[in-house]
Structure 1
Amino acid sequence: MGASSSTANPSPEAHEQREQETLASAALALPLLRAAFTRTAADAGALPDALAPPRASFRLPGSPPPPHFHDLLARLGPAIASLFSADGAAAGDAGWVPFLRGFNRCCARVSASRSLALLLRVYAAACDATGAPCGVQFQPDEGGDEDGKVVGELAPEEIAAFLWMCWVMTWSGSAPKASGDGGDKSEEPVVVLLPDVTHLVLSALVSAGAVADDDGIWGWKIPSGGKGVKVQEFTSWMLSTASGLGNCLSRYVQDRFRSLVADPAEQESSVSTVNTTFDTSDVYLLTRGRAWAIALSLRNKLSEKFLSASVIGMDTEDLLYRSAIHGKGLSRFWSGVEGYNGPMLILLSAFSKGGVENVDSNRRWVIGVLTEEGFESKDTFYGSSGFLCAAHPIFHMLPPSGKEKNFVYSHLHPQIRVYEAHPKPVGLAFGGTVGNERIFLDEDFSKVVVRHHAVDKTYQHGSLIPNQGYLPVEASVLDVEVWGLGGGATRRQQDMYKKRENIFSEQRRKVDLKTFGNWEDSPEKMMMDMMADPNRVRREDR
């Protein structure tokens, strides 16, 4: 009886341990967590070191790193480790249950706003330890929230530093054992180029009303400073535009613990990959910064594809078409995308006003379209889902509205020409209706027309380019890119489709003379004779 009573009524400590283990196992396997706990429990400084990012030299293309940035990253590990004892545990308490509490505090599934507040707390703690400027403050919450209320104001430089810190946390998952990290300190750290986040900073400033004039967007740079953004407004922007930042801290802690208990041989094999792939420049329209912004805004499986692209860049084998390489025009475009039955990203660079002076002043913009399926030659709209994207100079995604399904329109000239009283436009279009499209790219890929969102019920409202207004904007196209996102299997299926089409084309080109009848009886000879002597009288043979 006593044994059954003890089993039915466990002690409060055992009950708490069971709850914490159940909660933690949803994020990471318990054997891995026990191994990480064993390696960090012996030394007080082991946990901050384990949660520190890999040692690297971060810089921007052609410019030094942001001030205090390397010092901020050096304090990132201790700032996160402080969360493991934020529940009031004693300083020397290194038990299994307090470790689980700290892990669940960082990695348990909670609301997005709470995750973002915790991420801002880590950023504020790291800035405070290094003396870097930070406008984030925490006030006690009357509702009993242990994290407190987030208040303050963030300058544009602070927003950029926060975003770069989050990107480094993402990067560390692909570089678990970079050169010099935990090894020979005499080795030079790997050089890593930070992505451009100007479009994200501008998006936050415009969303909060700090930049109200569209003309102020052109040529705007982060060091130029300007009006700051309240933390509450910045959090609202993250929830609406970059919701993927809410998973940043959880993914980072899990990646660091996986790296801590990983096989050293596997870690050493990744060093060469880190040194050869991360020191890259952006040469395509799909830059690493734009790929990261798209990854943060998506909530489907494609987010992982763009997240990887933001770290190491897109695989060039996924580039289906680029007008600068393959040539402009709908036929060239079609030869690259035909037969690809998977999601694709189309990026288009253009400038609104004619004249070389607008190109020289860098007043060009980039918009994108994310499709869920391949292209078909139709004279009507089709598709099941899609996104519109303003990528430069400001970023925001426009998901489907759910009211209409005019996602994609791709119409080529028919192979057999017939008379049409009302011919359908030839080109690519997205949203709107035929003749009144949200985005329309002409057959030659020389002109694009962008209309106001009032004409479109397929995609959500929002401007795609600065100074768009209510009238249609006609722009000159500079470059067009198409990236395939379906993976290797989809690309192999496209290759098989192209091979079949090439075989059929070769068969149609071959002429078998044996299949032709006598030339004297052929209608071709009769037509030739009539053209030679049209006045000659011919009697029909009966």
Structure 2
Amino acid sequence: MGASSSTEQTVSPEQRELESLAASTGTLPLLRKSFSKLSDPQTNTISIQSLQQCFYLSYEDPVYESPQKPESFPRLLDHLGTTIVDLFFMSEKGGINWLGFLRGYVKSCGRMSTSMSLNILLRIFAMALEKLGLSSKLEFESNDADCKINGSLLPSDVLLLLWMCWSMLWNVRTWKFSERKGKLFLPDINHLVLSAVVSCAEVNSSLDLWDCDILGLHVQLPVGKFLAWALTTAPTLSDCLTQFVHGRLQSSVTAEDESGSSQSISGDISSTASQALLLTHGRAWAIFLGSTNNISEEILKACLAGDLIGTDEKLLYRSSAHGKGLNRFWSNVEGYHGPLLILISANSEDVHQDNSKTKKWIIGALTQQGFENRDKFYGSSGNLYAISPIFHVFSPSGKEKNFVYSHLHPTGKVYESHPKPVGIAFGGNITNERIFIDEDFAKVTVRHHAMDKTYQPGSLIPIQGFLAVEASITEVEVWGLGGRTAKEVQNSYKKREELFTEQRRKVDLKTFANWDDSPEKMMMDMMADPNRVQREDR
């Protein structure tokens, strides 16, 4: 093959450098195997058609979770494979040799900064649109990955770009379980698109974030501001391309195993069922895009789960199913020592409307450890999220460490001169928490970020204002992201607690079978004649 034959000859400095760069990503063995599988033994090159087929991505009649259904999107995916090959893999003498194969991989998926990776994504998107016959307002000053980009994006362009990245991730993560012609599931990501619109474009106050037609919204998002938004809100967006290229090359090596699949994840998707949960596929993916720590893989599993209702080992608590209140909450999360994602859905009145119309919004918090019953703040790290109707991530600021507060009613104390609030809170300080949930899970209070130095500033809910917002809670969900080990530890803890409780309930009836030996008779005798001398049995 091309890789082995190159070792028999004098290796050029360029090839040595490219192989070193590929080895630094840990994919050099995969590249050797895939080149051997795709190349022609006679010419020792890969034909353009073979490589385009390797990256070919096509789905008919996708399953949409949202009402937004752009007709051009399935046809956009048809041009994704040819675009990747045309941009990065140069053909020489009728094919792509080992050197050109390495060069194309390093240019598209090599080690580079996040901003350069995002530039590559935009270049792929712009060329795919051009192949489709649609115009793009993006202009690239050169062919370099770090070149300056001018122009702007429409909200509809952002929707197509994000769905393109989702489709690449969906394809390689489900190919082992789905047929080649399986269905593509497209989640509702309006909250992500609106996040980019609000952050990058100049929109007037009349924009209804709860009822907005993304495809009909004609505002310009300068590409520079969009890249800045992506770096802060969705820094792992560029990983979708790398995972797609790796996955398709891996599938070319193990193509014979693909025909043996029997299950279709995409066919089991139920958009109606997933919408019943606060953590929909689209919201889970938004949290995944904003995660750069060890919980991102667990979030990704929730994104791509065929039916989120069935992920019982991750869903620890749901107020509508387990009951509202701090005690019910505690009985379901106690003993779980791992990262937790808490989502709160609430309704508040829109003070800017004359009819006092209620608005539903969802906020969330991510903790790196389980809950503890304390009367002060604790924790090592975490994030706050504005999830719906727009998405934003508020990471730690590094100034304070008031990440989590969870306090139950104190036991064994009759009176406290200064009782600590009972409930759950995130950020801020005691009595001035950024998010506070009361013990009945009836009300949630959201305060201005000026009260909080633990998390980054910003509005958790639209048009928040400086005054505290008190809203009625409609649902609370807690998702465990510590993997199977954390869940098994919690199950062991629960079984141990149930055993202790059962032992405390048991009463040895033989001890009280004789009235003369019962403690009740002894107490009655002492009350009748406290000076009576009791004979001691020896």
TM-score (normalizing by structure 2): 0.88
Q: Which residue identity does 1:175 align to in structure 2?
A: T
In the alignment, residue 522 of structure 2 is paired with which amino acid? S
Q: Which of 30, 39, 57 is the equivalent residue of 1:32?
A: 30
Q: Does residue 223 of the first structure (1) align with residue 227 of the second (2)?
A: no
1:532 is aligned to: none
Question: How far 1:276 sits from its partner (Å)?
Answer: 3.9
Number of residue pairs the alignment of both structures matches = 509
Instruction: For residue 442 of structure 1, report the CA deviation from its aligned partner.
Output: 0.4
1:382 and 2:373 matched: no
Counterpart CA distance in 2 for 1:520 and 1:168 is: 74
Q: Which residue of 1 aligns with 2:4?
A: none
CA drift of 1:371 comes to 0.5
Aligned equivalent of 1:249, options 238, 241, 244: 241
CA distance, structure 2, for counterparts of residue 207 and residue 483 of structure 1: 28
Alpha-carbon offset, residue 150 of structure 1:
1.4
Distance 1:361 1:56, change over 3 A: farther
| Whole-angstrom CA distance in 2 between matches of 1:395 and 1:54 | 29
- Do the aligned partners of 1:330 and 1:443 also contact (CA within 8 Å) in 2? yes
Structure 2 contact 284–302 (Cα < 8 Å) conserved: yes
3-state SS in 1 of match to 2:359: coil
Pairing 1:421-432 to 2, within 5 Å after superposition: 421-432=417-428
1:201 maps to 2:199:
no
- Whole-angstrom distance in 2 between the partners of 1:172 and 1:499: 40
Using the alignment, how far apart are the partners of 1:243 and 1:405 within structure 2?
24
CA distance in 2 between partners of 1:201 and 1:79 (Å): 24
SS in 2 for 1:244: coil
CA distance in 2, matches of 1:270, 1:453: 50
User: Helix, strand or coil: the match of 2:345?
Assistant: strand
Structure 1: segments with no counterpart, 5+ residues: 1-9, 182-188, 530-537
TM-aligned CA distance change 1:455 to 1:362, over 3 Å: closer
CA contact (8 A) 2:317 2:333 kept: yes
Q: 2:520, 2:446 → 1: CA distance?
A: 59
DSSP 3-state at the match of 2:61: strand
User: Is 1:523 aligned to 2:519, yes or no?
Assistant: no
The 2-side partners of 1:157 and 1:172 are apart by 22
- In structure 2, how many angstroms separate the alpha carbons of the residues matched to 1:459 and 1:364? 23
Identity of aligned residues (%): 47
Q: Which of 256, 259, 267 is the matching residue for 1:268?
A: 259
Q: Which runs of 5+ in 2 are unaligned?
A: 1-8, 40-44, 534-538
User: Residues of 2 paired with 1:438 and 1:378: CA distance?
Assistant: 18
Shift of 1:402: 1.4
Secondary structure of the structure 1 residue equivalent to 2:289: helix
Cα–Cα, structure 1 residues 206 and 255, in superposed 2: closer, same or farther, change >3 Å? same
1:489-528 deviations in Å (ceiling 9; x for gaps): 111111111111111111111223455644565336767x
Q: Distance in 2 between matches of 1:435 and 1:304?
A: 36
Q: What is the aligned partner in structure 2 of residue 475 from structure 1?
A: 471
CA distance in 1: counterparts of 2:322 and 2:354, whole angstroms = 25
Letter in 2 for 1:78: T
1:340 aligns with 2:342: no
**Is the contact between residue 361 and residue 461 of structure 2 (CA under 8 Å) also seen in structure 1?**
yes
Aligned 8 A contact 1:318 1:485 in 2? yes
1:302-338, Cα deviation, whole Å (9 max, x unpaired): 1122122222255232110000101111111011001
1:284 matches 2:277: yes
Q: Is the 8 A contact 1:199 1:393 kept in 2?
A: yes
Q: Deviations over 1:453-494 (max 9, x none)?
A: 111111111110112111111000000000011111111111
The 5 Å alignment of 1:97-496 reads 97-140=99-142, 145=144, 148-176=147-175, 181=180, 189-213=181-205, 216-265=208-257, 267-278=258-269, 280-281=271-272, 282=274, 283-312=276-305, 314=308, 315-353=311-349, 363-496=359-492
Distance 1:30 1:332 in 2: 52
Go from structure 1 to structure 2 and tell me whether the alpha carbon gap of 1:539 and 1:362 turns closer, same or farther (over 3 Å shift): closer
The secondary structure found in structure 2 opposite 1:496 is helix
Within-5 A mapping of 1:507-522: 507-513=503-509, 515=511, 517-519=517-519, 521-522=521-522
Instruction: Give the TM-score taking structure 1 as reference length.
Output: 0.87
Partners of 2:199 and 2:525 lie apart in 1 by 74
Q: How has the CA–CA distance of structure 1 residues 264 and 526 changed in structure 2, closer, same or farther, with 3 Å as cutoff?
A: farther
Contact 2:63 2:183 in 1 (8 A): yes
